[in-house]
Amino acid sequence: MAEPLKNMYNKPYLEKFAGVFKEIYPGFDTKKFLKLVFDNEWDSRELKQRMSHIARSLNEVLPGDYRRNISILKKAVPHFKGFLSMIFPDYVEQFGLEDPKISVPALELFTQYGSSEFAVRPFIIRYPKILTPEILKWAKHKNHHVRRFASEGSRPRLPWAIALPEFKRDPRPVLKVLELLKNDESEYVRKSVANNLNDISKDNPAIAYETAKKWYGKNKNTDWIVKHGLRGLLKKGNKAALKLFGWHGSEGIETTGFKLNSTKIQNGGKLEFSFSIKPIKPVNENVRLEYTIDFITSSGKTSRKIFKITEGKFEKGKTFNFAKKHSFKDLTIRKHFKGRHNIAIVVNGEEAAKKYFDVV
C-alpha cells in the first residue's frame, strides 16, 4: 500500500526545512518550530491540515513583519520542489490576504517550485480587478509553471479548492486566459486548459461548446484539449458535443445479445456482461461505447456512473462483440451497498440496452 502523502511532512524533512531557514535567518528557533509542529494533534491531521499547520508554526518563529517574512521565504523556496514547497503559498494564503502588493508576486515566484493554484483563489475573489489582468500576464510568462498557474488558478471548480463563484457565473475572463494558452508548447499547460474548459462546461455548457467548436480542427493539440475539455458533456450525452466528434446517436446501430453472467452479485464480487453491435448505416460507423451503472447509495437512492468501453470506426454490416467485467470491491472513493442496480449500454450518448441485477 502506498505511503500517505501527508507523511511527506515527517521529522527528517522538517529538520531540513528548519535548517534552510536557520541559514537565511539566524534568529530562527529550530527547537521551538519543531515543538510547535509536532504537537498532540499532529498524527490526526491530514495533508492540507498539516501544510497549513506548518505554515502557522513557521509564522510563530519568523520575525513577525509580513514583508520581512516573505523576503525570507523567497530566499528559502529554491531549496524545495513540488508538493513539499506548497507550504510557501499556503503561508501567503493565511497571512498575506491584506497585502496583495507583496503577496501576488510572491505567489508567482512560489508556483515555479510547486503550485500556488490553491492559495491564489482567495485573492481572485477579494481583488478581481487586480488579479484578472495579472492572470493574463501569467499566461504569457516564459516559465511553463507560471503559465499553467494562470489556467489552474482560474479554474471555476478546481478540485479540493474553494470555487470561484464569479467565474462560474461568467467565465469570459477565464476564456481570455485559455485563448492565450490553447496552443501552448507544454503538454502540462494544455492539460490544465482542458480541465479548465471541463470546469466551465459544468456551469456554462453552451459557452464551453461554442468555444470548443471554434477551436476544433485547427491542430492536434487543440483537438485534444477540446475532446478532453468536453468529456463531462460527452458523458452526459450532450448531442451537440457528440456530433462535434462525429457521433450521431444510436439510430442505425444494432445492439444485440446483451447478457449478464448473473442477476445476483456478491458484494466484493464481479459483474460480467457481454453484447454485440452492428452499424447498419454509413453515417454511424463512428461509434462511442460506454456503460452506465445506477449504484445504490447509503441513503437507498441511486447514483449513476458512466464508464467508457471504446470508441472508433466500425465497418458497416459487420458485427462486433464485447465482453466486460465490473468489480464491486469496495474502494476508498466508492463503497457498494446491497440492492437493485441497473446497467445500460450507451451507444453514441444514447441508452441502447438495459438490464437489472441485485448486489447481495
Total count of domains within the chain: 2
The three three-digit cell numbers of residue 31, written as one number: 527547537
**pLDDT value at residue 1:** 57
What is d(CA 340, CA 333) in angstroms, rounded to the nearest whole number?
Answer: 21
Q: Return left, alpha or beta for 178; rule: phi > 0 is left, psi -120 to 50 is alpha, else beta.
A: alpha
pLDDT tens digit sequence for 134-143: 999 999 999 9
Do residues 235 and 303 both lie within one domain?
A: no
Do residues 238 and 321 both lie within one domain?
A: no
Which pTM was predicted? 0.90
The answer to whether the CB of 181 falls within 8 A of the CB of 189 is yes
What is d(CA 255, CA 32) in angstroms, rounded to the nearest whole number?
Answer: 69
Q: Return left, alpha or beta for 144; rule: phi > 0 is left, psi -120 to 50 is alpha, else beta.
A: alpha
**pLDDT value at residue 64:** 84
What is the rounded radius of gyration, in angstroms, for the C-alpha atoms of the chain?
25
User: Where residue 223 sits, what CATH number does that domain have?
Assistant: 1.25.40.290
Tally of CB atoms within 10 A around 303: 11
What is d(CA 336, CA 270) in angstroms, rounded to the nearest whole number?
Answer: 12
3-class state of residue 201 by DSSP: helix
Do residues 111 and 46 both lie within one domain?
A: yes
Chain mean position to CA 264: 35
**pLDDT value at residue 284:** 67
The answer to whether the CB of 83 falls within 8 A of the CB of 116 is no
Using the 3D structure, point to which of 244, 261, 288 is the last residue of a domain. Answer: 244
Q: Per DSSP, what are the bridge partners of residue 303?
A: 295
Using the 3D structure, point to which of 210, 244, 278 is the last residue of a domain. Answer: 244
Which range marks the domain in which residue 45 is found? Answer: 5-244
Could you give phi then psi for residue 343, rounded to 5 degrees? -130, 135
The answer to whether the CB of 135 falls within 8 A of the CB of 181 is no
**pLDDT value at residue 69:** 98
The three three-digit cell numbers of residue 288, written as one number: 462511442
pLDDT tens digit sequence for 322-342: 999 999 999 877 899 999 999
Do residues 190 and 278 both lie within one domain?
A: no
What is d(CA 279, CA 320) in angstroms, rounded to the nearest whole number?
Answer: 9
Do residues 236 and 257 both lie within one domain?
A: no
Percent of the chain surpassing pLDDT 70: 99
What is d(CA 233, CA 210) in angstroms, rounded to the nearest whole number?
Answer: 13
The three three-digit cell numbers of residue 92, written as one number: 501567503
What mean pLDDT value characterizes the chain?
95
Cell numbers 510557501 correspond to what residue? 88
Do residues 191 and 312 both lie within one domain?
A: no
What is d(CA 124, CA 324) in angstroms, rounded to the nearest whole number?
Answer: 46
The answer to whether the CB of 175 falls within 8 A of the CB of 211 is yes
What is d(CA 111, CA 201) in angstroms, rounded to the nearest whole number?
Answer: 26
Do residues 182 and 297 both lie within one domain?
A: no
The answer to whether the CB of 209 falls within 8 A of the CB of 203 is no
The three three-digit cell numbers of residue 19, written as one number: 535548517
Using the 3D structure, point to which of 222, 244, 266 is the last residue of a domain. Answer: 244
The answer to whether the CB of 343 falls within 8 A of the CB of 354 is yes
How far are the Cα atoms of 84, 93, 135, 215 from residue 122, in angstroms, in the given order? Answer: 21, 7, 14, 31
Q: What is the pLDDT along the chain (360 residues), one digit of tens a residue?
A: 567 888 999 999 999 999 999 999 999 999 999 999 999 999 999 999 999 999 999 999 999 899 999 999 999 999 998 888 999 999 999 999 999 999 999 999 999 999 999 999 999 999 999 999 999 999 999 999 999 999 999 999 999 999 999 999 999 999 999 999 999 999 999 999 999 999 999 999 999 999 999 999 989 999 999 999 999 999 999 999 999 999 998 989 999 999 999 999 998 999 999 999 999 877 667 899 999 999 999 998 999 999 999 999 999 999 999 999 999 999 877 899 999 999 999 999 999 999 999 999
**pLDDT value at residue 122:** 98
